[in-house]
């Protein structure tokens, strides 16, 4: 099951390093994912290769023109008519672990990255299937948002994380934040690793980790905790946390 991402952008070079390092780099080498960039400027027909223009009605900034984007989309779509087109924008549906899991079932996504004040509305009306936001803040362009989406979706493709790890095992899947992690040395400048982790008592370690995950989540993300199915054991641990006053 190989997944393909075609990215339409004015800055294709932005994609070379971030996606070719480490885990995604290996996934590309192994043919699990394919990421192709398409420069929208290559689809202009005028001598100066103009991709933007002033907004109708006046106002500041520039708007990306519809024709070069339309031609770029049609060129990619001619090779694969069923590909879905996603436009990255703060006005889109918030990206979440659930949305990433749903997108990984698509064999081919086309990601459209806007610059300036965004794209001419007719691009959205005529070509875009889905609009997605990576969060409530403003970026200088959709490129970083597209990379975030590619990264989050790729983790769900079997084999990308290696054979014995799955994205489903990761923290957000069980909707709790991760427990604290430690590695050597045991004592760093007087700050020591919790004794239970070196006890060799695996069931005590599991309970400690679950409790710390609950503590963190109740402290930092009570909204997540409210959505979690808590076991009787979880409720008991939360009780302990709230009663012990060290829940800060
Ligand atoms: N932008 N999530 C404006 C974003 C963004 C986001 C992309 C900036 C689109 C025109 N995209 N351009 N947040 O801030 O996806």
Q: What is the pLDDT of residues 12-22, one digit of tens each?
A: 999 999 998 99
Q: For the chain, state the CA radius of gyration.
A: 23
**pLDDT tens-place string over residues 44-82:** 999 999 999 999 999 999 999 999 999 999 999 999 999
Cβ–ligand 1 distance for 131 under 6 Å, the answer no
CA 77 / ligand 1 centre spacing (Å): 23
Residue 46 corresponds to which tokens in the numbers above? 């005028």
Q: How confident is the model at residue 110 (pLDDT cuts 50, 70, 90)?
A: very high
Residue 188: exposure state from Cβ atoms within 10 A (0-12, 13-18, ≥19): exposed
Where residue 116 falls among pLDDT bands split at 50, 70, 90?
very high
Contact indicator for 1, 33 with CB cutoff of 8 Å: no
**Ligand 1 close to Cβ of residue 12 (< 6 A):** no
Cβ 114 under 6 angstroms from ligand 1? yes
Cβ–ligand 1 distance for 89 under 6 Å, the answer yes
CA of 27 to the centre of ligand 1 (A): 26
Q: Give the span between the Cα atoms of 171 and 221, in whole angstroms.
A: 13
According to DSSP, the β-strands at 3-9 and 108-112 are: parallel
Confidence at 166, pLDDT banded by 50, 70, 90: confident
> Does residue 211 have a pLDDT over 60?
yes
Confidence of residue 201 (pLDDT cuts 50, 70, 90): very high
Strand partners, 110: 6, 85
What gap in Å lies between CA 36 and CA 6, rounded to an integer?
Answer: 5
Ligand 1 pocket test, pick from 11, 133, 135, 146 with the greatest ligand atom count within 8 Å of Cβ, gives: 133
Residue 33: count other Cβ atoms within 10 Å of its Cβ. Answer: 22
Distance 93 CA to ligand 1 centre (A): 12
Give yes or no for residue 204 having a pLDDT over 70: yes
| 155 neighbors 27 (Cβ within 8 angstroms) | no
Residue 202 host element (H or E): helix 202-220
- Residue 42 alpha carbon to ligand 1 centre in Å: 22
Residues 6+ away with beta carbon under 8 Å from 70: 123, 126, 127
Task: Indicate which residues carry an active-site annotation.
Answer: 90, 117, 155, 170
Which residues, 6 or more positions from 198, have their beta carbon under 8 angstroms from its beta carbon? 186
The residue whose C-alpha atom lies closest to atom 11 belonging to ligand 1 is: 89
Structure tokens at 217: 């989540």
Q: Which residue has the tokens 């875009």?
A: 128
Two tokens at 111? 């990601």
């Amino acid at each position: 099951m190989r997944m393909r991402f075609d990215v339409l952008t004015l800055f294709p070079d932005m994609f070379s390093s971030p996606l070719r390092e480490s885990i995604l780099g290996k996934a590309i080498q192994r043919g699990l994912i394919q990421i192709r960039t398409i420069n929208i400027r290559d689809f202009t027909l005028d001598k100066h290769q103009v991709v933007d223009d002033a907004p109708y009605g006046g106002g500041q900034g520039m708007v990306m023109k519809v024709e070069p984007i339309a031609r770029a989309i049609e060129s990619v779509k001619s090779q694969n008519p069923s590909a879905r087109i996603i436009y990255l924008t703060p006005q889109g549906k918030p990206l979440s672990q659930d949305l990433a899991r749903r997108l990984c079932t698509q064999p081919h996504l086309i990601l459209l990255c806007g610059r300036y004040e965004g794209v001419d509305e007719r691009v959205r009306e005529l070509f875009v299937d889905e609009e997605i936001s990576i969060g409530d803040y403003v970026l200088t362009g959709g490129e970083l948002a597209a990379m975030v989406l590619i990264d989050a979706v790729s983790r769900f493709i079997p084999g990308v994380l290696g054979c014995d790890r799955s994205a489903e095992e990761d923290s957000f899947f069980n909707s709790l934040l991760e427990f604290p992690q430690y590695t050597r040395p045991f004592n760093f400048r007087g700050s020591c690793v919790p004794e239970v982790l070196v006890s060799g008592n695996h069931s005590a370690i599991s309970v400690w980790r679950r409790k710390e995950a609950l503590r963190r989540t109740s402290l930092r993300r009570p909204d997540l905790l409210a959505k979690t199915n808590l076991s009787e054991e979880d409720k008991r641990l939360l009780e302990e946390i709230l009663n012990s006053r060290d829940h800060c």
